[in-house]
């Protein structure tokens, strides 16, 4: 069921449970602001999800409500993960599905980081 980008934060969502350590994940990196882990159903040779530690439903929610420190910390964490994985030279793609038309499935902001092969056109046509 796709996420309604205007819905309230559900603290039982799967990424909230990963953040609380209730469900395991293959952690790539974490700091005060973000957690990065491998997607359970990878769509590319490298498919990492980066999520903020704070309770935000979507990019819309995060960009509207997060503090400057949370935003800076999260954006820096995404860049750090890509650099540490050696993805800057070959290149990578970031994607943040937001709301119904995007098919966002998990109602906690996540940025997908795809890499490891030529990624093709930006959107299926
Ligand atoms: P989205 O459609 O943008 O909401 O993407 C949700 C992503 O979360 C999908 O790529 C799923 O494969 C991934 N996912 C769902 N559950 C887990 C989990 N427990 N651990 C890692 N990735 C997950």
Task: Classify residue 8: in a domain, yes or no.
Answer: no
Per the CB < 8 A criterion, the answer to whether 109 and 9 are in contact is no
Per the CB < 8 A criterion, the answer to whether 11 and 106 are in contact is no
Tell me the pLDDT of the chain (125 aa) as tens digits: 788 877 899 999 999 999 999 999 999 999 999 999 999 999 999 999 999 999 999 999 999 999 999 999 999 999 999 999 999 999 999 999 999 999 999 999 999 999 999 999 999 87
Q: Please report the pLDDT score of residue 120 as a whole number.
A: 94
Q: Is 58 in the pocket of ligand 1 (CB under 6 A)?
A: no
Q: Please report the pLDDT score of residue 94 as a whole number.
A: 98
Total number of domains constituting the chain: 1
User: Rounded to an integer, what distance in angstroms lies between the CA atom of residue 25 and that of residue 23?
Assistant: 7
Task: Classify residue 99: in a domain, yes or no.
Answer: yes
Task: Classify residue 6: in a domain, yes or no.
Answer: no
pTM: 0.97
Tell me, in angstroms, the distance from the centre of ligand 1 to residue 30's CA.
18
User: Rounded to an integer, what distance in angstroms lies between the CA atom of residue 125 and that of residue 122?
Assistant: 9
CATH code, 76: 3.30.428.10
Tell me, in angstroms, the distance from the centre of ligand 1 to residue 41's CA.
7
Task: Classify residue 122: in a domain, yes or no.
Answer: no
User: Rounded to an integer, what distance in angstroms lies between the CA atom of residue 44 and that of residue 23?
Assistant: 23
Question: Which ligand 1 atom is the nearest neighbour of the CA of 3?
Answer: 4
Task: Classify residue 4: in a domain, yes or no.
Answer: no
**Residue 38 falls in the annotated catalytic set:** no
Task: Classify residue 19: in a domain, yes or no.
Answer: yes
Question: Which ligand 1 atom is the nearest neighbour of the CA of 47?
Answer: 10
Range of the domain at 35: 14-115
The closest alpha carbon to 25, from 56, 47, 55, 57, belongs to 47
């Amino acid at each position: 069921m796709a996420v309604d980008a205007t819905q309230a934060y559900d603290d039982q969502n799967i990424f909230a449970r990963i953040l609380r350590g209730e469900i395991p994940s293959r952690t790539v990196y974490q700091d005060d602001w973000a957690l990065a882990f491998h997607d359970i159903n990878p769509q590319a040779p490298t498919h990492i999800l980066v999520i903020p530690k704070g309770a935000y439903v979507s990019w819309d929610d995060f960009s509207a409500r997060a503090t400057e420190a949370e935003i800076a910390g999260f954006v820096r964490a995404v860049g750090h993960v890509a650099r540490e994985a050696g993805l800057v030279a070959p290149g990578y793609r970031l994607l943040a599905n937001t709301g119904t038309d995007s098919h966002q499935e998990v109602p906690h902001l996540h940025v997908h980081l795809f890499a490891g092969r030529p990624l093709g056109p930006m959107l299926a046509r």
